[in-house]
Amino acid sequence: MNMNQKGIAPIAIILVILGILALGGGSYYAIKKFQKSSVQPCTLEAKQCPDGSYVGRTGPNCEFAACPEAKINETANWKTYTDSNLNYYFQYPPTSCELQRFAGDTTFAICYLPKGSDGGPKHNIGYVISLGFISKNQLSVMGVTYCGAYPNDSSRCELFKMGEVTASIDWGTGADGNASAWIYHRNGGIITFDLQPVTAESKEILKQILSTFKFTN
């Protein structure tokens, strides 16, 4: 074998190797393209969830997406208080204690035992929410309230929005004190919710009650 033949042999081998690599690479991309084209897209069909919403298919195997978790209706067993004279209503949870009332007291009020309490059905321990109304005439002789004078004191004063109604809440000066929520009536006057004592738990239940408040016309 001459020198020229010796130089050609390695080049031929390299060309063969490159050809094999090119053929293998082309085969790989051809297979991937075939696999990709063989995957069918998810259909647009959907299923209805228990809450009335719909979910479509998703994921590599076109499974249906998970339905939203069912929301617990916390007011399902609540009672409804309706004032047919002032045309409003709200819901409240069943009371867990009985008020100690003075003779002749007809104020609408609800009483709750703190969570975990075993004080029995009749006692003076718990928190009470009382309903009231301040007429336009009474308002005209009242002085300015604390939150009326200092509405930006966020440590004490809060505007609680529920739908088209806004309650102005004065949480008082601290725990075991009194709080008052005012809702301005459309025809004048103020509907009041008074809370005693003020704790994290009692604040939560008052807000839950206020969130159900609605005028009937």
Q: What is the pLDDT of residue 37?
A: 47
- Domain made up of 79-215: CATH architecture: Sandwich (2.60)
Q: What is the pLDDT of residue 72?
A: 65
**DSSP per residue, the chain:** --HHHHHHHHHHHHHHHHHHHHHHHHHHHHHHHHHHHHSPPPPS-EEE-TTS-EEEEETTTTEEPPPPPPPP-TTTT-EEEEETTTTEEEEEPPPSSB----TT----EEEEPPTT----SB-S-SEEEEEEEE-HHHHHHS---HHHH-TT-TTTEEEEEETTEEEEEE--SSTTS-EEEEEE-TTSSEEEEEEES--HHHHHHHHHHHTT-EE--
Mean pLDDT of the chain: 80
- How far is it, in rounded angstroms, from Cα 131 to Cα 215? 15
In this predicted structure, the answer to whether residue 129 has a pLDDT above a threshold of 90 is yes
Q: What is the pLDDT of residue 31?
A: 47
Q: What is the pLDDT of residue 159?
A: 94
Instruction: Tell which wins on pLDDT, 113 or 160.
Output: 160
Q: What is the pLDDT of residue 176?
A: 65
Q: What is the pLDDT of residue 180?
A: 96
In this predicted structure, the answer to whether residue 147 has a pLDDT above a threshold of 50 is yes
Domain assignments of the chain as residue spans, ordered by start: 41-71, 79-215
Least confident residue range of 48-62, 148-162, 203-217? 48-62
75-84, 112-121, 168-177, 185-194 — most confident range: 185-194
What confidence tens digit (pLDDT) does each residue in 27-61 have? 555 445 544 444 556 766 788 887 778 888 887 77
- How far is it, in rounded angstroms, from Cα 199 to Cα 111? 14
Q: What is the pLDDT of residue 45?
A: 77
Edge to edge, what strands does the sheet with 63-64 contain?
46-48, 54-58, 63-64
**Mean pLDDT across 12-37:** 52
Give the pTM.
Answer: 0.64
- Given pLDDT bands bounded at 50, 70 and 90, which one contains residue 196? very high
Which two tokens mark 47?
Answer: 């299923």
In this predicted structure, the answer to whether residue 1 has a pLDDT above a threshold of 60 is no
